[in-house]
Amino acid sequence: MEPRVLGRVEYQPTYEAMQAMTAARTPDTPDALWLCEHPPVYTQGIAGQPGHVLAPGGIPVVATNRGGQVTYHGPGQVVAYPLLDLRRRGWFVKEYVYRLEEAVVRTLAGYGVTGHRVAGAPGIYVRLDDPFSHAALTGPAPGGDPFRGLGKIAALGVKVSRHCTYHGLALNVAMDLEPFSRINPCGYAGLATVDLSTIGVPTPWDEAADRLGRQLAALLAA
């Protein structure tokens, strides 16, 4: 499965293309992996609550059928859309999501950054005080903030139809992060959002896309 780099493309036509490909799939349809970035857009998942969109301003809000809540896509972010038949792999959705997250973790590790998972909150997070620390998270005290000291660097939102996947993940590389302050990212008020640039890792979009694409292709191989 060779990653296909689409470049900067509008969100709505890309979403519709994913839906059309998935609807037309047969057991013989090859899997695909699209890598792209989008002009500024907020996307709402099926569980999305309007109250989590605080002040969109001139940025459009698009309702989608992926899981999760609201997130932001914009220039400087690598968006990956795996279009896979999970039956070929014998995977349930939990295994698929784990592999998506693992691809991000391994991509970050290539830059010396340690990515972390937070139970019950899909995506990948980094320590704000020391993104390069390899120490494991100790977890919050009972009743504490599970995101204390963490910033979200990658978001996940997937859809599975007839065992076939679309939507995917977004890795923040070098963005204008201000639009994240106008939403409750992924439904969490006050959740800090970071990118590679702000944690001290300058890298071109093309390089980050290539690294993430190679990790995804390896981890999602049939």
Find, among 20, 68, 60, 19, the residue nearest to 44 by Cα.
68
What residues are annotated to the active site?
186
- What torsion, rounded to 10 degrees, do the Cα atoms 207, 210, 216, 219 define? -100
Find, among 78, 54, 12, the residue nearest to 187 by Cα.
54
CA dist., res. 13 & res. 19, Å (int): 10
Helices 93-110 and 205-219: crossing angle in degrees, nearest 10, is 140
Q: What is the pLDDT of residue 142?
A: 67
Q: What is the pLDDT of residue 138?
A: 79
CB neighbourhood size of 51 (10 A): 10
CA dist., res. 76 & res. 167, Å (int): 18
In which residue are the tokens 């914009």 written?
Answer: 74
In tens digits, the chain (222 residues) has pLDDT values of 899 999 999 999 999 999 999 999 999 999 999 999 999 999 999 988 889 999 999 999 999 999 889 999 999 999 999 999 999 999 999 999 999 999 999 999 999 999 999 998 999 999 999 999 998 887 776 677 889 999 999 999 999 999 999 999 999 999 999 999 999 998 888 899 999 999 999 999 999 999 999 999 999 997
CA dist., res. 166 & res. 18, Å (int): 6
Find, among 64, 76, 52, 79, the residue nearest to 191 by Cα.
52
The answer to whether residues 15 and 64 touch, using CB atoms and an 8 Å cutoff, is yes
CATH superfamily of 4-219: Bira Bifunctional Protein; Domain 2 (3.30.930.10)
In terms of Cβ atoms closer than 10 Å to its own Cβ (0-12, 13-18, 19+), residue 110 is middle
Q: What is the pLDDT of residue 48?
A: 83
Q: What is the pLDDT of residue 144?
A: 79
Tell me the pairing of strands 32-37 and 4-8: parallel
Q: What is the pLDDT of residue 60?
A: 97
